[in-house]
Amino acid sequence: MSNKTILQLENSALFLLALTFFIYLDYPILYFFLFLLSPDISMIGYLKNPALGATIYNLAHNLVFPIILIFIYLFTHIALLLPIAIVWSAHIFMDRTLGYGLKYSDEFKHTHIQNL
Kindly report, residue by residue over 44-63, the tens digit of the pLDDT. Answer: 999 999 999 999 999 999 99
pLDDT for res 11: 97
Q: What is the mean pLDDT of residues 15-42?
A: 98
Cα separation, 61 vs 66, whole angstroms: 10
Residues 6+ apart with CB under 8 A from 98: none
The pTM assigned to this predicted structure is: 0.94
- Per the CB < 8 A criterion, the answer to whether 57 and 103 are in contact is yes
Average pLDDT, the chain: 95
**What angle, 0 to 180 degrees and rounded to 10, lies between the N-to-C axes of helices 3-24 and 81-97?**
150
pLDDT of residue 113: 80
Please give the pLDDT value at position 12: 98
- Res. 102 pLDDT band, cuts 50 70 90: very high
Q: What is the distance between the alpha carbons of residues 108 and 116, in angstroms, rounded to a whole number?
A: 17
Q: Write down the domain spans for the chain.
A: 3-115
Return the HEC string of 66-80: HHHHHHHHHHHCCCC
